[in-house]
Amino acid sequence: MRITTWNVNSVKQRLPHLLGFLAEARPDVVCLQELKCVDEAFPRTEIEEAGYVVATHGQKGFNGVALLARQPLPLRDIRRGLPGDPEDVQARYIEAAIPVPSGTLRVASIYLPNGNPVGTPKYDYKLAFLRRLQAHAVRLRADEEVLVLAGDYNVIPEPEDAADPEAWTSDALFLPQSRAAFRSLLNAGFTDGLRACDGRPGLYSFWDYQAGCWPRNQGIRIDHLLLSPQAADRLVSASVQKHLRGLDKPSDHVPVTVELDLG
């Protein structure tokens, strides 16, 4: 089973790219971020006609996450919003269960806050969100299901995850506190799916639109799929669909995919 995460940076603007990817790669589950639309404006009809069921958690103009499952897979037990702060109205988390031959696959699509500028409430919110995510992830892990926490984490875990790490030392994506919060998820028993399969430097998932970052390959790796022990035991492969960054009017992120053997 192939599970993909992709920050599409406006699902309506990137719809042709998304439909092309679904037809080309035929992922079984897709976790989308940064929809930039309310639920009613999501292109549900087009996605369903492409063979996928849809669950969304949208927000006008920014944020927004979605889960797609290739038919006949259903999406059950859908949770919208990350627990832990009832006053948080930002649409950054959606989770669902999918029955598979080996039991249940639980998948979350996550759009973590950017956190810039540092020293403002935006960075405080980022760290608080990461703490809430860790607490919820530990609760989910206790169920011993095959669990994949996928999304745009807005965290560069290690220096080798940036073409020019020195350029990011003061950025919220690379500050020690951000990286430590990400490591806390790994220390809680989760596996970085891509790094478990490929430890090479130069694997990036984001290239800024500015300063010729894409032509110069000045990328960073901030899109991750974290696997519970039950998912990591079934990990077959992981890959980055880098070629999609070269399309006309692309997202600044590209898909990242893991393949699990779920019997």
Instruction: State the catalytic residues.
Output: 111, 152
How many contiguous H segments (helices) and E segments (strands) does the chain have?
Answer: 6, 12
Q: Which two tokens stand for residue 214?
A: 């894409």
Pick from 101, 105, 8, 88: nearest CA to 56: 8
Say how far apart CA 93 and CA 57 lie, in whole Å: 7
Confirm if 220 and 168 have CB atoms less than 8 A apart. Answer: yes
Identify the sign of the CA torsion 143, 112, 51, 255: negative
Q: Which two tokens stand for residue 232?
A: 């990591």
